[in-house]
Amino acid sequence: MSQVETKHILHSGYFHPLLRQWQSPNVEITPKNLMYPIFILDEPNAKEAISSMPGVYRYGINQLKSMLQPLVSKGLQSILLFGVSNSLKKDEIGSSADSTENPVIRALPLLRKWFPALIITCDVCLCPYTTHGHCGILNKDGTLNNEASIKRIAEVALAYAKSGAQVVAPSDMMDGRIAAIKESLGAANLYNKVAVLSYAVKFSSGFYGPFRDAAQSAPQFGDRKCYQLPPGSKGLASRAAARDVAEGADFLMVKPGLAYLDIVKQVKDDHPEYPLFIYQVSGEYAMLLHGAKNGAINLEVVLNEILMSMRRAGADCIITYFTPMILDMLQPKSKY
Ligand code: PBG
Ligand code: ZN
């Protein structure tokens, strides 16, 4: 007998890959645990590289089918759409967010037709379409007009729903927007056909840097600290999630991901009956990619660890720019 007491021997429980999987329950990554964010540009044939996010592109409508087809074949189940405009006019109220020219509005019916089994979520926000680049409507003095903002956000959400979005995801962080959206969906008799995924716990974060380049949505003055949550506040995180639950959100999200896993656990513990999303944001993507490119880490190995940490913390679905790569990692490998 070894010197180690029998009950202290752990290795016997994980000497084989299958045993290791038995030791890691509920952290599997499958296609249903992934949502792929896509930037749709208002130039139909475009495929524009985003320099701050190598490997991520802005696609024109005519590029979407051939880009998505192989991913759907590999099991992709859900996408998150962001509109980006090079030529649509920006104004104070983000009129282009729901105009007939908006690339998301135009893409929705096509995507629904091409990929009937795919769940299509639309990010709902004004910042890509406002002159000032803020997520809501501003008063003359530059402060937020919350009432006007949620009214407008609800209009935009309804427009996406009417065009075919099955899930609308407001990322603006205005107070009361979930209730306003639910009300507008109800008035249009869509309340039971469209889900609301709330960016409930969205922190003010340096990790959004590359995205603002991708979506061309950086604020022209000031910052978003008055509406996005302060990174140190567990209390506001808790209240924000509870508030959005009370207003009728179907799903909750924590964003960014890796730096906020304690918040993911907190939200899951507080609201176990709600599917929880986590957004591995642009800065997290860029950090991993650059780290791997420079030889510091093995991308697949580290990415897999991070995805498992998100699942362990309580996330049911991970929104990630790495989705195409993860789908490849999930393909059964030939033994020969
Ligand atoms: C803004 C919005 C942001 C992201 C999605 N929608 C960030 C911001 O506040 O600038 C971030 C996504 C990412 O960084 O990947 N409505
Ligand atoms: Zn915004």
Residue 10: inside a domain: no
Whether 202 is a known active-site residue: answer yes
Report the percent of the chain where pLDDT is more than 70.
Answer: 99
Residue 21: inside a domain: no
Residue 17: inside a domain: no
Q: Which tokens hold the place of 316?
A: 């049911």
Residue 31: inside a domain: yes
Ligand 1, atom 1, lies closest to the CA of 171
Between the CA of 109 and the centroid of ligand 1 the distance, in Å, is 24
**For 115-164, what is each residue's pLDDT tens digit?**
999 999 999 999 999 999 999 999 999 999 999 999 999 999 999 999 99
Please give the Cα distance from 312 to 264 (Å, whole number). 10
* pTM recorded for the entire structure: 0.96
Instruction: Output the pLDDT for position 5.
Output: 86
* Average pLDDT taken over every residue of the chain: 96
Residue 335: inside a domain: no
**For 79-125, what is each residue's pLDDT tens digit?**
999 999 989 999 999 999 999 999 999 999 999 999 999 999 999 99
Instruction: Output the pLDDT for position 2.
Output: 63
Beta carbon of 319 within 6 Å of any ligand 1 atom: no
Please give the Cα distance from 41 to 317 (Å, whole number). 26
Residue 333: inside a domain: no
Residue 67: inside a domain: yes
Domain that holds residue 205: 27-327
For residue 131, the domain's CATH number is 3.20.20.70
Between the CA of 17 and the centroid of ligand 1 the distance, in Å, is 38
Catalytic residue among 90, 182, 255, 268: 255
Catalytic residue among 140, 202, 234, 268: 202
Instruction: Output the pLDDT for position 336.
Output: 66
**For 246-283, what is each residue's pLDDT tens digit?**
999 999 999 999 999 999 999 999 999 999 999 999 99
Whether 255 is a known active-site residue: answer yes
Residue 219: inside a domain: yes
Q: Are 258 and 311 in contact (CB under 8 A)?
A: no
Domain count, the chain: 1
Helices (H), the chain: 17-22, 61-73, 103-114, 146-163, 177-187, 209-214, 234-246, 261-270, 282-293, 299-313, 323-330
Beta carbon of 134 within 6 Å of any ligand 1 atom: no
Count of C-beta atoms within a 10 Å radius of residue 291: 14
Instruction: Please provide the DSSP assignment of 16-32 as one string.
Output: SHHHHHHTSTT----GG
Q: Which tokens hold the place of 307?
A: 């995805």
